[in-house]
Amino acid sequence: MTARTDILEALERDGYKTREATSLIEAADKEPQTPTGLGDPDFRETLAGGHALIIQYGDCEFIGSCQCGKALGTVTPDKFRDDVFASKWERHCMTEVQG
């Protein structure tokens, strides 16, 4: 038995159909994970705080998001600057994240 199997069985016992339970697990797998033992939990804008700025490169574009999953948009490499996602991320952290 794995933790994944245990979770699926628990969801099914609570009335979820197998397909719905599997979909929930898959969605959770895609969420950013907060590593333990890093950063300072008193600062929410760190990995340990759960709200680090994430910039990924995929399909010829940069994708910005917060570690919590908040999407910050996409931009092509020719338009990318180091601050292109920073203002949106800062606004998210200052106005949407509860301290």
pLDDT digits (tens, 9 = 90+) for 18-50: 888 888 888 777 776 655 555 566 788 888 788
Question: What's the structural domain count of the chain?
Answer: 2
Question: What pLDDT was estimated at residue 54?
Answer: 92
Same domain, 45 and 16: no
Token representation of residue 99: 């301290």
pLDDT of 98 above 70: yes
Token representation of residue 16: 């979820």
Same domain, 54 and 76: yes
Same domain, 41 and 8: no
Q: Which residues of 73-89 are buried (b: 16+ CB within 10 A; e: fewer)?
A: ebbeeeebeeebbeebb
Please enumerate in sequence order all residues whose Cβ is within 8 A of that of 99, keeping only pairs 6 or more positions apart, or say none: 44
Same domain, 52 and 81: yes
Same domain, 50 and 67: yes
Same domain, 82 and 57: yes
Going by the DSSP 8-state scheme, the letter that residue 70 receives in this structure is -
Same domain, 1 and 47: no
